[in-house]
């Protein structure tokens, strides 16, 4: 039983229902959401009360791509620290990638993650199983058994499935299960030993680049295979102009392809590597402003379906070294909303589009499993986030809940802040400046 919560005067935005209106919300002791009339007479002594004036209240964010690192890499992150970080970032559901040790390729490990999450996580955790055993790209995992455990999809994230026949078989199996094959698109021969985007900055710094073609050639292959098999391929972390063009064409042809993009690929260019060094090293690499423009356009016209974090925490040892040796990845949960709000404040995307790509759209890709609808629904368990769109704050990674302090945004002033998160009817994060009485 939870203490009931009364949220007064927030601007309620729910893209799923089209609601955009200032009103009050009540969350009862069972965690059930109730819409109530503004200034309804409520015995306030029975409730925790939040004055949400000037704030936005929307469905809780859903992340289809993150790395919680457990089991095997607990020095980087644990399910407990990662999901508390997610809650601080406004996420109420996260899907964790299988590049753990051991990989999430069998029922025992999937169940382990689910059991730990049930005890230690303030938000829902849906595992993504590996496409191949051990993520070795040689033998398919037991898709049917893993699907029966409720996995969100299949991926060898960090690696592509290079063997075309194996990829074809995987798509055929996923088709029968109605689940996505989430593909990290990269031709190994083109990307091998690459450090940052192939281009002007790499040349200036004397670093081996990762060409756009490394991504685009694999995207083209996977689109073709999805068309041949009627399978569902989901392109992970799209990063180039040509990838957007390929996705747009595939959708126009009726091929079952969906795609995601990260906050950093929408807001940061390869120039960040010059000043931020290893903190800006990520795979796929940060690209050019032209690529950002294409990704934003793809987000706006529906070519790109969802925004994900690709939260990839690392230790200081992983990052405080020569850039050629440093690990790829950025700790993203706690900066996602604010970094994306730069696109809203600069009129690149609308607030409604931003919320839609973090809530309703990912819920649709999940098939609304476990009651996850990405909506605010009267009479249903409350998953919501409260946002102050105008609050300015300076990113200090030492204040991250995540173990991963690796961010290229350290010291940057951002505008927009998650103030509170409610997951399954329970208040799981409250900003220190938010008054709850």
Q: Which domain holds residue 275?
A: 60-371
The sign of the CA dihedral 101, 107, 112, 115 is: positive
What's the distance, CA 96 to chain centroid?
A: 9
Q: Please indicate, yes or no, if residue 405 is contained in any of the structural domains.
A: no
Mean pLDDT, rounded, for 200-217? 98
Q: Is the pLDDT of residue 39 over 80?
A: no
Mean pLDDT, rounded, for 168-172? 99
What's the distance, CA 397 to chain centroid?
A: 19
Q: Which of 195, 121, 184, 181 is nearest to 151 (CA)?
A: 181
Cβ proximity of 295 and 340 under 8 Å: no
Q: Which of 283, 241, 243, 278 is nearest to 262 (CA)?
A: 283
Residues 179-206: tens digit of each pLDDT:
999 999 999 999 999 999 999 999 999 9
Residues 286-318: tens digit of each pLDDT:
999 999 999 999 999 999 999 999 999 999 999
Q: Please indicate, yes or no, if residue 16 is contained in any of the structural domains.
A: no
- Residues involved in catalysis: 310
Distance in Å from the first CA to the final CA of the chain = 19
Angle between helix 289-301 and helix 241-252 axes, rounded to 10 deg: 20
Q: Please indicate, yes or no, if residue 402 is contained in any of the structural domains.
A: no
Mean pLDDT, rounded, for 249-261? 99
CATH of the domain at 260: 3.20.20.140
Residues 128-139: tens digit of each pLDDT:
999 999 999 999
Q: Please indicate, yes or no, if residue 319 is contained in any of the structural domains.
A: yes
Higher pLDDT, 281 or 37: 281
Mean pLDDT, rounded, for 32-41? 82
Q: Is the pLDDT of residue 44 over 80?
A: no
Q: Please indicate, yes or no, if residue 356 is contained in any of the structural domains.
A: yes
pLDDT for res 41: 67
Average pLDDT, the chain: 97
Rounded distance between C-alpha atoms, residue 202 and residue 209, angstroms: 6
Counting the structural domains of the chain, the total is 1
Q: Please indicate, yes or no, if residue 92 is contained in any of the structural domains.
A: yes
Rounded distance between C-alpha atoms, residue 318 and residue 25, angstroms: 44
Q: Please indicate, yes or no, if residue 299 is contained in any of the structural domains.
A: yes
pLDDT for res 38: 72
pLDDT for res 1: 62
Cβ proximity of 393 and 334 under 8 Å: no
Q: Is the pLDDT of residue 150 over 80?
A: yes
Q: Please indicate, yes or no, if residue 417 is contained in any of the structural domains.
A: no
Mean pLDDT, rounded, for 78-88? 99
Residues 108-124: tens digit of each pLDDT:
999 999 999 999 999 99
Using DSSP's 3-state secondary structure scheme, residue 114 falls into helix
């Amino acid at each position: 039983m939870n203490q009931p919560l009364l949220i007064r005067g927030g601007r309620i935005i729910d893209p799923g229902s089209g609601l955009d209106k200032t009103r009050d919300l009540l969350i009862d002791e069972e965690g059930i959401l109730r819409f109530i009339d503004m200034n309804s007479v409520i015995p306030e002594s029975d409730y925790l009360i939040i004055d949400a004036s000037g704030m936005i209240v929307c469905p809780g964010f859903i992340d289809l791509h993150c790395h919680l690192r457990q089991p095997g890499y607990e020095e980087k992150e644990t399910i407990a620290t990662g999901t508390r970080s997610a809650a601080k970032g406004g996420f109420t559901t996260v899907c964790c990638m299988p590049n753990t040790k051991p990989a999430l390729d069998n029922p025992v490990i999937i169940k382990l993650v689910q059991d730990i999450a049930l005890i230690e996580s303030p938000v829902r955790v849906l595992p993504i199983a590996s496409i191949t055993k051990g993520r070795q790209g040689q033998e398919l995992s037991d898709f049917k058994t893993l699907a029966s455990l409720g996995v969100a999809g299949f991926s060898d994230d960090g690696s592509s499935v290079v063997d075309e026949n194996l990829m074809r078989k995987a798509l055929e199996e996923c088709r029968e299960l109605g689940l996505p094959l989430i593909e990290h698109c990269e031709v190994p021969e083109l990307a091998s030993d690459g450090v940052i985007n192939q281009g002007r900055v790499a040349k200036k710094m004397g670093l081996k680049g990762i060409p756009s073609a490394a991504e685009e050639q694999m995207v083209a292959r996977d689109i073709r295979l999805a068309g041949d098999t009627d399978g569902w391929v989901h392109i992970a972390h799209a990063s180039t102009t040509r990838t957007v063009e390929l996705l747009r064409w595939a959708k126009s042809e009726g091929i079952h392809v969906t795609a995601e993009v990260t906050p950093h690929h929408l807001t940061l260019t390869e120039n960040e590597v010059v000043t931020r060094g290893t903190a800006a090293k990520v795979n796929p690499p940060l690209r050019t402003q032209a690529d950002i423009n294409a990704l934003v356009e793809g987000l706006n016209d529906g070519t790109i379906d969802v925004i994900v974090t690709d939260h990839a925490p690392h230790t200081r040892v992983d990052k405080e070294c020569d850039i050629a040796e440093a690990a790829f990845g950025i700790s993203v949960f706690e900066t996602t909303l604010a970094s994306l709000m730069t696109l809203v404040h600069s009129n690149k995307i609308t607030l409604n589009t931003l919320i839609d790509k973090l809530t309703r759209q990912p819920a649709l890709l999940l098939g609304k499993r476990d009651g996850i609808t990405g909506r605010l629904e009267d009479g249903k368990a409350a998953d919501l986030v409260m946002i102050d769109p105008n609050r300015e704050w300076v990113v200090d990674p030492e204040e991250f809940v995540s173990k991963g302090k690796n961010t290229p945004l350290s010291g940057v002033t951002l505008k927009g802040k998650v103030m509170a998160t409610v997951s399954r009817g329970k208040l799981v994060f409250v900003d220190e400046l938010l008054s709850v009485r």
